[in-house]
Every structure is written in structure tokens, then in C-alpha cells.
């Protein structure tokens, strides 16, 4: 199923990304997250092809301008080709269709068809509000939605949506876990890091994992790939967790013009 830890690839591309993904797989990463919009699926695919990656879980996302029924199927075929995978492990609706221009139900039906055709193994959603998540559940059932990938970090804990996901039994995948590096400068996270002989980034990742979320940090440095991976071993105390919970400022960093009306 969906591994709780993986490598994000947002804003990464080219041979450097291929090298990073190759290194990540060598380190032990078994989950790589990409998207059609990142324009780097082919770079990820090269790494998958040149490594022993049969057990690596691959997530991609369908861009919001390609949510009509046939567009979904066609775009996933393209993604499959670029990723050099006969079957993609997980496909997400990257963003809900603005103003419901393409009905959500149509896109979900297309993803169901993609799964039946063997293009994908699982599907889910991303950047979905509570109302949109409920609507998706009403159409396909919670058992068919593997995850809702949303912005979550110590300063944006997205409590309403994470609670709704928990109630439906849908995994939360937390993107931007390091808040674009802001976790490194926070005194609370720095203090906890010293306590555990770790880095603030590792503390932020460990907090997400302790919450039961899927964490997908991205980095341009191999050394950070390793330290992020090692964060899986970090055991935070209940007091640490409470201190991090208190950092929530609802500080959303990703809010494009086509975003839904957030909770």
C-alpha cells in the first residue's frame, strides 16, 4: 500500500533530479511523488528504469486542466510512458476543477476506468476541502480514495481537513513538510532537535509520521536525502508533539488563484 515516507519532486527536474531519485532509491526510499504539472515525470522515469525499482511506489497527479473523462485517460497513458511504468501505483486529482467546470464525478469515473484498465492501481485526491472530500466519498466510497494530499507542516496543520480524512479512513499525504525551509529557523523545533541530536527538518518529518501522515519532503542535496530518510527513526515525546501542535498559525504557503475555497 502507500508507504508513509517518500521523496517529493516539486520544483525539481532534469538530470539532477534523475540522479537524486537514483540516489534516494539506493538509500532505501520506496515512494516517489511526482505530477504532470511538475514536468519531470520523464526524469523520474529514467531513474526508475536504471535502478532496482520494482518495489518503489510511484505517485503522480492529473493536472486540473485535464480532468475531463478522456483527458484523464489520455494523460495517464502519457504519464505511464514518461515514468516507464506499465501501471502507475497512484494517480491523484492534483487540484479540483475550478468552479466545478468539470464535474468531480466525471473525473472520478475516469479514474475508476483507468484502474479497471490497469493504467493505475489506486487513485485519490489532492488539495481537497472537507466538502469536496465528502462529495468524492459519496460518489466512489472512501475505500476507493487512497489519500488526500494537502499542505501540512507545523505552521499549517490543516486540522479540519485532516480530521475529515481520519473520519473517512483516508490517508493524509502531507506536502511541503518543511514549510519551504522555515522549520529550520523555528526556536521550538530547534530546541527539540537539540534534545534528540537531530535537525529541525527531521523533527518536522518525525512529527508528521507520528501523526500517521505520509511525509514527502523534497531536497536538492543528497545529504538531506539521507537525513530526511533517517527522520523515520526519530521518536518524539508526547511533550514534543504538544509543543509542535502549538506552532499552528494556519500559515498556508501554496494558494494559487484556482484553489478551492479553503476550510
Residues forming the active site:
38
Bin 217: left if φ > 0, else alpha if -120 < ψ < 50, else beta: beta
Beta bridge partners of 126: 149
DSSP state of 123: E
Instruction: List the grid coordinates of 35.
Output: 505530477
Q: Are 256 and 37 in contact (CB under 8 A)?
A: no
CB 73 within 8 A of CB 113: yes
Determine phi and psi for 231, rounding to 5 degrees: -60, -20
Q: Is 122 annotated as a binding residue?
A: no
First to last CA, the chain: 28
**Binding site per annotation, positions for substrate:** 94
Amino acid at each position: 500500500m502507500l508507504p508513509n515516507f517518500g521523496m517529493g519532486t516539486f520544483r525539481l527536474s532534469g538530470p539532477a533530479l534523475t540522479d537524486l531519485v537514483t540516489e534516494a532509491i539506493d538509500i532505501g526510499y520506496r515512494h516517489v511523488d511526482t505530477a504532470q504539472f511538475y514536468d519531470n515525470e520523464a526524469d523520474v522515469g529514467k531513474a526508475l528504469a536504471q535502478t532496482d525499482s520494482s518495489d518503489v511506489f510511484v505517485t503522480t497527479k492529473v493536472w486540473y486542466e485535464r480532468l475531463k473523462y478522456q483527458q484523464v485517460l489520455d494523460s495517464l497513458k502519457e504519464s505511464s510512458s514518461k515514468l516507464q511504468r506499465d501501471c502507475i501505483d497512484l494517480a491523484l486529482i492534483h487540484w479540483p476543477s475550478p468552479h466545478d467546470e468539470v464535474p468531480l464525478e466525471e473525473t472520478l469515473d475516469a479514474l475508476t476506468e483507468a484502474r479497471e484498465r490497469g493504467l493505475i492501481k489506486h487513485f485519490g485526491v489532492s488539495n481537497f476541502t472537507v466538502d469536496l472530500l465528502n462529495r468524492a466519498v459519496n460518489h466512489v466510497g472512501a475505500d476507493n480514495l487512497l489519500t488526500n494530499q494537502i499542505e501540512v507542516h507545523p505552521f499549517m496543520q490543516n486540522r479540519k481537513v485532516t480530521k475529515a480524512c481520519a473520519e473517512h479512513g483516508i490517508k493524509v499525504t502531507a506536502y511541503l513538510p518543511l514549510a519551504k525551509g522555515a522549520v529550520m529557523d523555528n526556536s521550538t523545533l530547534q530546541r527539540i532537535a537539540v534534545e534528540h541530536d537531530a535537525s529541525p527538518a527531521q523533527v518536522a518529518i518525525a512529527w508528521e509520521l507520528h501523526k500517521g501522515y505520509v511525509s514527502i519532503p523534497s531536497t536538492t542535496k543528497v545529504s538531506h536525502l539521507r537525513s530526511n530518510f533517517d527522520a523515520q527513526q526519530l521518536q518524539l515525546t508526547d511533550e514534543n508533539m504538544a509543543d509542535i501542535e502549538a506552532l499552528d498559525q494556519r500559515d498556508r504557503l501554496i494558494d494559487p488563484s484556482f484553489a478551492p475555497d479553503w476550510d
